[in-house]
Structure 1
């Protein structure tokens, strides 16, 4: 037996992981104070015949003597050790094996883990802390005392495909097969598959059945967005995706180079430079393994941009969680607490972006009880290229080449898993659906592919569905013949269907003309990226997959991609209240303003933002945090190449609480918010492209589908009004879960709109920071008594009759164009959009940013509460020098309401309130960081 060794590594200074466990245990009510003593250590497990010199060399490599202490052998004291389950990717161990090879140390296996010592507490409490805070059973196992690692997978694969008997089965039997295999296929889809193989006169293999399930999944096929829809009043509607495409086609913006084709949308605002835009969701994986789910969500969307032959330059993230103070009793068994989900997701986003070397420049963090068990994780990426043209392959004879990471069991059935409803057992059954990321490998992939566009005729990300999706999509209409034995594996024991369906990360598939293979191999060797030639694109229109030379999948690409029966759905359209003004009464205006500034959805997100590097690459012109102390929120952010005068602005629009009342108005408002965010920063509204990301409940429920149809209506109406085309999108449906009450719940209807606008002159950008005492504060737009879905109601409670959601402003498109002109002419000192919390919150944020006061002498509405807290759309605050007011009015061509003056005194003075010191505003705004 090969000798095994263990090295325990402890920090000399207090380990922040120990503090995090203490804090979480207190927040979850498992302990009542900080008396819990926690120690955390890293454990490295090695296999190999190592002498003392080799152990010393490894000790010197792994242990920093200034910060750490390392000890070989069994640990002292009582503790629990945690390590990965067999088959889960251990990236640190893989790096250690590589390093040992470079050091000349002959280790044959490596694994990593951690040891947690919880002091003098009873075993039951220790177990609860480990289960609730320390370990995740989806990917990890643990043992009190010491744990034995798994160095090598012990299973042996058969190498052959199993036959699945479906011919002649009843519908109940077919549905049972679907549930057992997690196929997520509709009954009519199962019938079509059954009929197809009955016509062929044979049963499908497991590889074929799983491939069809992946290709036809909601996640990959977007079958709800492609469905024929009839509304409850008998109207036949175009498919949802066709509505979005028709909208873009009608706008016919000259800067759109490619929309709704391939991995990302492409726009070109100037010259030969093109910009790739994509935003994805990774909701279900983040619910069961927050770090890995968010981590690979970021990695996946970066590969989407890479998969359209653009160099990634920045990432974005919008995160939706349950309230961090949710009682444990409200979290269903088998689900993670929102605090743990939040911390894991934020860690995962930060880990990938920071390590790969891309700035995380824009985003949002939202909280609502509806996200308690089903968080939403939206990850976006932006890339650039010069002289881009759409790859026109693959061609018959091209080689099917996979680059990057090796294939393991991680991520199997991820596409179908993401198409199912979450329930209390999801974490138990979905372990293999969790993907494990390795940003360093992806960085090397970027280095290989950027500049190598001449070597391949087609490229795609190996994401949802793995090779099945990547090769299957590339082979559409062409055909391919591949050999699974050529796929590099992380470990032995994978069956053919697992190799084919695995969503192991950091892989790209490219079509390479044979004459270019040698140059590509040299390039991959230089960067240390693994290349595998799996077969060829054939030209016969058949997809053939072999294992040991024996076909395990053989079908036409026509049936694979066009054989799915379209859905025909009925939508029960919502009937929202509109035009109904229902006011609010507020007894304590000062306390309400401070309460809003402290609200989970408005308060500072600096603690999260500072986890991300948003300045790497040196192109971030406007950062997510602005102001004299960099502690106030920006509207849009701006990035620009250091050598370029022009740039792009990025803005986000999202407000699920409006969607609970009026999904159509919510969608319109999300577009409007994204547009005014980019305009407020200096973006050109006439050169703006949009991304849409819908996260919704089960669309087979007629009322839920009706809300989705209404939201698409609203999004299209807004896009047409602003002449801002959609260029890419993603829907994530079935975001529902079984709660602690054993009832089924859906997340709030959530649409995220990302706007990306051309910034003609980055030096003209403005930020929401008060600049100069004596300048005038101007309010643009109209204010109405519209409170449904407002943060005032989230803070104080919603009345029985909430009234209407804010309605669209038909004057907004002209207003934004004129404001953009005023910014370019240097008439605007600062600018801030009005959104959550209304005018009072926007003024407070401006004061916090500039550490200056504001005296407000005129309000926009006769009703004080409406003036201060209504969230009417399309409004902005603008700081203008007194001498420029007439010229500003002339540019705006609309009523310009001067509501106040910037003051040297650090007080916000509002009618009806005593002056509020700016530091009191800042304290309220940052209080959340101390509470959560």
Structure 2
């Protein structure tokens, strides 16, 4: 059948994307001669009958009330500038795939071939140089290319038959210079010492040359992304500069060394960053503070056992949570990178058979308002990265049906080196449905879900490298487009008890593909790569072995259960294929075309390469907790404070995400009558399928890059403190908190001072855990945040999770006029560290008062100080605040992590007896903030608060389309709480 071409364009009034693009070209590219932009979706279709085509035109490709449809030719003027953009070959095209599936349903026949492109028509006076600017802005060479305007004769692609996998002839006899050249030619992420180690292994153990697949598999398996090689580097020398803070850090280091002796024979266990990160958990577990930990060989997600009350009866459930970054992919292809960040995070607890019901997104960016003309060579503009990443993450979450409970972007100049794209998710499942057994010889491994393609090859090794100006030209295969409907089907499948109980062990397909996902399931495996389902022909054995590809699971089942599992999978429209078998050889074997292309000893594979060593130097940090007040004018400083990028409104960003899908959300991201007060964290009910429950989960995050830059130790301490304070402000019991950390640092190399940053940060986290007696039971590290001489700030983000009765969950907006507003303080010592004993006593008291109903609202103090907390609490219901504290008594503007602002309905003298607190003032009917003689109307403050990011994440309709919405706060506020 001939290729048909159809163009679909939104009618005026519905052409939102075209108008947005016009505004971007004018404002961000400074192209003034453009009069109009048209955005047209183009479909080329082959293999469809005339009748089905006529039906599909209006049922699938277009909506007649809002779309124009043009067949074969697109009308435009000779003076118009026209170009088309299409995805690179091999990238997943969801629009084409969905269209083909719909046509198959319509016709009850075969799927047609469909190829899509977006045609952009520019009307107006546009010079050649401006047109080139537009094309460069619209085409990211990592994922897309300019498409031809002439219709092809056929859409069928003849894939060349790949050659057999080559043996690297002469490898075991190469000298060091030849080995260095091989390392460079193949672009391995492993070190030269690792490659030498491979040479010795194949020379002495295997007595043969390796295949290219074997070296690629080892490079992937040993990558920092998959095997935490930086975190497992042996630390052999530690030096501390002189100073009061360094003295504290030294004392904490000695506490760590003493703790090691209680857990294991310290002489046989290397000191590593990983050991520092996990030792507090081991010690607190030894002391009995971690009785709810769910332990198994499956370590993809944090897992705790909780009691869930359903219709008055208590059941045991597993609650699983996980955080994960996709920094490298999002930096070079923001939409796909951020989308698969969420997809990858979901797959971890999903592989534990839990149903993921809520997600949190925390990102780090440089100023997105930076002019595009100031973009660094080899980089995408910050505005493009941050807006497209938000679109990608929200698109994936909305399609898979996971509520995004909290979204926050952190701004810091150093994130221009490499963006931080961080997702955290939480899931749950009845404990009785989760079976965990050790695989035994004869068991089979089933590959479930999506097919394998070239996209994702090198994802693990790419994420382990620092970014450079050539990355946008050379990293195309390392990024992918997700297919969330497939992952949604896996969620549905795993929620069925019969399916879940058939699974002995499960691993998700993350970076590394078959080699890691299946390779980690058992010590002895034989994998048949010919059985791996492919997106298209032409893939060779190496690509099949290491391609990441999304939405796949590797599942161990008994051989006799395989047929039933496959049958249940097909009932959910999921492909399931037996691709491997558990053996007893202690070797990883992969076969392709009937030949062995990988045959490696498990002990060598698990060695993670050559043991690396590092020296550490901890510098004396600067003091950073001085008051930030620079002006005596309270009004001026208050307004400037709410304008700060890390204080101002992110409503436009937040509203891109669906926070209510699934019906379990307890707190809206923006609370109050006017939906303006940001929640402290996210809260949701446990997703029971039948019955009613009041058992829910709370999750918060904490991190301040400005503190971490000055002192990574303090940054980590206060990241933990911030997460705990937020949980307490939401009504949670701090003693039930379980933590998880996300570390993100520059490329460390061999510089002792660089190594000192994560070393100090992890000791800070250790210090906080040991004092609060709440352990981190998981985490993730990324150690490649470098671009030339620019580095990301030392980043340790803390996540806190606990269960709670949702009846007592508290939101932060002021509830009524006439309440007392008090600041409950956490004391600090001589080096600006919290006094933990006093903090814990304070948090216990606050928790009791919330349960008694004496606290109406609570908000932890963050980067913008008390003024930020009071202002945001006032916005939600339009309730004003009048200060009663004497001028100069309250530091309104300094970060004071750990302290909490409370709205209470009783006299604080009696209610807060024994606590350190200051009465700030009271709530008022008059919608103003009145502090030290400065009277600031809430609508004026709100305008200033929303202004900084309005151009990036708009909340208002464009002028001419609709009158901008303005909120006028009522003078009379109804009581609602």
TM-score (norm 1): 0.93
Write the mapping of 1:63-102 to structure 2, written as runs, cut at 5 A: 63-77=62-76, 78=80, 79-102=82-105
Deviates more, 1:873-882 or 1:338-347: 873-882
| Of 224, 228, 237, the match for 1:222 | 228
| Of 940, 948, 957, the match for 1:928 | 948
Deviates more, 1:573-582 or 1:727-736: 573-582
Aligned-residue offset at 1:222: 0.4
Deviation digits for residues 252-291 of structure 1 (CA, Å, limit 9, x no counterpart):
2112223895110101232511100100000000011000
CA distance in 2, matches of 1:23, 1:737: 31
- Residue equivalent to 1:198: 203
Contact 1:159-1:548 at 8 Å conserved across structures: no
Contact 2:460-2:511 at 8 Å conserved across structures: yes
Write the mapping of 1:337-356 to structure 2, written as runs, cut at 5 A: 337-356=381-400
Aligned-residue offset at 1:861: 6.1
| Of 834, 838, 842, the match for 2:865 | 838
Contact 2:635-2:935 at 8 Å conserved across structures: no
Change in Cα spacing, 1:859 to 1:666, as seen in structure 2 (3 Å) is: farther
| Of 176, 181, 185, the match for 2:186 | 181
CA distance in 2, matches of 1:686, 1:712: 21
CA distance in 1, matches of 2:59, 2:667: 43
CA distance in 2, matches of 1:583, 1:96: 56
Residue 774 of structure 1 pairs with residue 796 of structure 2: no
| Of 715, 723, 726, the match for 2:765 | 715
* 3-state secondary structure, aligned to 2:934: coil
- Residue equivalent to 2:515: 468
Structure 1 unpaired stretches of 5+: 739-743, 787-803
Change in Cα spacing, 1:578 to 1:521, as seen in structure 2 (3 Å) is: same
* 3-state secondary structure, aligned to 1:262: coil
Root-mean-square deviation (CA, aligned residues, Å) is 2.3
CA distance in 2, matches of 1:352, 1:386: 26
Contact 1:784-1:872 at 8 Å conserved across structures: no
Change in Cα spacing, 1:324 to 1:627, as seen in structure 2 (3 Å) is: same
Change in Cα spacing, 1:205 to 1:460, as seen in structure 2 (3 Å) is: same
| Of 248, 251, 275, the match for 1:242 | 275
- Residue equivalent to 1:878: 902
Change in Cα spacing, 1:873 to 1:14, as seen in structure 2 (3 Å) is: same
Residue 453 of structure 1 pairs with residue 500 of structure 2: yes
* 3-state secondary structure, aligned to 2:876: helix
- Residue equivalent to 2:958: none
- Residue equivalent to 1:7: 6
Contact 1:282-1:377 at 8 Å conserved across structures: yes
Deviation digits for residues 703-726 of structure 1 (CA, Å, limit 9, x no counterpart):
221011000000111112222111
Contact 1:777-1:877 at 8 Å conserved across structures: yes
Contact 1:302-1:312 at 8 Å conserved across structures: yes
CA distance in 2, matches of 1:620, 1:155: 48
* 3-state secondary structure, aligned to 1:459: strand
CA distance in 2, matches of 1:777, 1:272: 40
- Residue equivalent to 1:919: 939
* 3-state secondary structure, aligned to 1:233: strand
Residue 495 of structure 1 pairs with residue 519 of structure 2: no
Change in Cα spacing, 1:639 to 1:323, as seen in structure 2 (3 Å) is: same
Write the mapping of 1:369-384 to structure 2, written as runs, cut at 5 A: 369-384=413-428
CA distance in 2, matches of 1:765, 1:53: 54
- Residue equivalent to 1:139: 143
Write the mapping of 1:585-604 to structure 2, written as runs, cut at 5 A: 585-604=630-649
Change in Cα spacing, 1:378 to 1:857, as seen in structure 2 (3 Å) is: same
* 3-state secondary structure, aligned to 1:19: helix
> How many residues are treated as equivalent by the alignment?
897
TM-score (norm 2): 0.88
Write the mapping of 1:275-294 to structure 2, written as runs, cut at 5 A: 275-294=319-338
Contact 1:81-1:147 at 8 Å conserved across structures: no
- Residue equivalent to 1:801: none
Residue 158 of structure 1 pairs with residue 150 of structure 2: no
Deviation digits for residues 151-199 of structure 1 (CA, Å, limit 9, x no counterpart):
4444323352112243233434323322332321112211111111111
* 3-state secondary structure, aligned to 2:173: coil
Aligned-residue offset at 1:360: 0.5
Residue 266 of structure 1 pairs with residue 265 of structure 2: no
Write the mapping of 1:664-683 to structure 2, written as runs, cut at 5 A: 664-683=713-732
CA distance in 1, matches of 2:340, 2:672: 33
- Residue equivalent to 1:31: 31
CA distance in 2, matches of 1:675, 1:73: 61
- Residue equivalent to 1:904: 925
| Of 868, 874, 878, the match for 2:892 | 868
Residue 733 of structure 1 pairs with residue 783 of structure 2: yes
| Of 853, 860, 868, the match for 1:826 | 853
Contact 2:323-2:742 at 8 Å conserved across structures: yes
Deviates more, 1:425-434 or 1:581-590: 581-590
Deviates more, 1:377-386 or 1:762-771: 762-771
CA distance in 1, matches of 2:608, 2:203: 14
CA distance in 2, matches of 1:860, 1:461: 58
Write the mapping of 1:338-487 to structure 2, written as runs, cut at 5 A: 338-387=382-431, 389=434, 391-451=436-496, 452-475=499-522, 477=523, 479-487=524-532
- Residue equivalent to 1:554: 599
- Residue equivalent to 2:42: 43
- Residue equivalent to 1:634: 679
Structure 2 unpaired stretches of 5+: 241-252, 258-269, 308-314, 953-977
Deviates more, 1:516-525 or 1:165-174: 165-174
Deviates more, 1:121-130 or 1:212-221: 121-130
